[in-house]
Chains A and B, each alone.
Chain A
């Protein structure tokens, strides 16, 4: 177990995560505010951040709870949002084969969009696996701790902040900050357009099913767009050969 830990790399990982953490503070606060306003007790609101540890899932759970959606629909929506973790997990997996299973479990628990994005290059470059694992855990621990503190701040502040500030608008803005940089690819634009039109057109669906359906429509459009562009690429190359 000790063989996988390097203290300097852990500290370096935590330090490098600090600036990213600052950007997550408003999001964590909104998760706290949202959970409480959806009816969760302060303890449950904090438990959401400690156990789910996923802003997207927490916000969706809070919004759907507040909208009175059935339990199964909330779970299904959170499940679709968590599918991206499969992708991160698969991308990290080849580098972690030699790592002890307890460390892998800890890394899985701390795996987020931010920790994946900020460490995957290190794993690809290889070199010192022990240091890379410690770096990942350092950054993940930093983010986890900051997430709890900002959730607590949100739980405490939620009762004080006047409704006229429209703090809940921070949620779409957080997601917008993640979404916009993805849109430089043509396939991503097709995904965006499809999901956007579907989200508006399907809004009247019962049980707040529109979110899952719009998401699935967007994913399907992306897969079809990939396939069509692959086919047109081969036909373009075809005559030249």
Chain B
């Protein structure tokens, strides 16, 4: 496995991985960019003459809360991939709760970020 040819093959594979990932990233930019633009344009221009179906309208109302939760919760309750820590020993969980209180009281993005990062740094320095 540590033969010179093995090493070279590994390097070549890594370089080709990097190239495919650049291609994947640019394809993502184009495809997701187009999806975002079409979603934004949808009722403003593409279906300007149509009414939104009522069920779709009701479902879309819940998209922000549902997706924000689906992004935020795993980022704060898992210490590492697959390691669930719903307990005070999880500094990210406590810092997020502190930030959540600030977000609820002040409704200010910068203050929320500041409070959460300060809490995380303090907890990690002095508690763990």
Which A residues fall within an 8 A CB radius of B? 22-24, 26-27, 35, 38-41, 44, 47-48, 51-54, 56-57, 59-61, 65, 71, 74-75, 78-90, 92-93, 96-97, 101, 104-105, 107-109, 111, 113, 165-166, 169-183, 187-188, 191-192, 194-196, 198-200, 203-204, 210-212, 214-219, 221-223, 226
Contact = CB atoms under 8 A, between A and B. Distances in A.
Interface string B57-71: 111111111111111
A148 B31 CA distance: 20
* Chain B contact residues: helix, strand, loop or mixed: helix
A221 B73 CA distance: 17
A104 B64 CA distance: 24
Nearest to B101: A180
B126 interface: no
B120 A54 contact: no
A78 B82 CA distance: 23
* Chain A contact residues: helix, strand, loop or mixed: helix
B29 A51 contact: yes
B27 A169 contact: no
A116 to B, nearest CB: 10
Contacts, number: 268
A191 B66 contact: yes
B99 A176 contact: yes
A176 B48 contact: no
Interface of B: 18, 21-22, 24-33, 35-37, 39-45, 48, 52, 55-78, 82, 84, 92, 95-96, 99-100, 103-104, 107-110, 112-113, 116-117, 120-121, 124
Nearest to A41: B22
Nearest to A82: B39
B74 to A, nearest CB: 5
A169 B24 CA distance: 26
A101 B21 CA distance: 37
Which of B31, B61, B65, B113 has the largest number of chain A CB atoms within 10 A?
B65
Nearest to A113: B64
Contacts of B31: 75
A92 B44 contact: yes
Given A75-B32, A108-B37, A109-B37, 13 more contacts: A27-B109, A54-B36, A56-B71, A82-B36, A86-B56, A166-B124, A172-B92, A173-B116, A180-B100, A181-B104, A183-B104, A218-B62, A219-B66
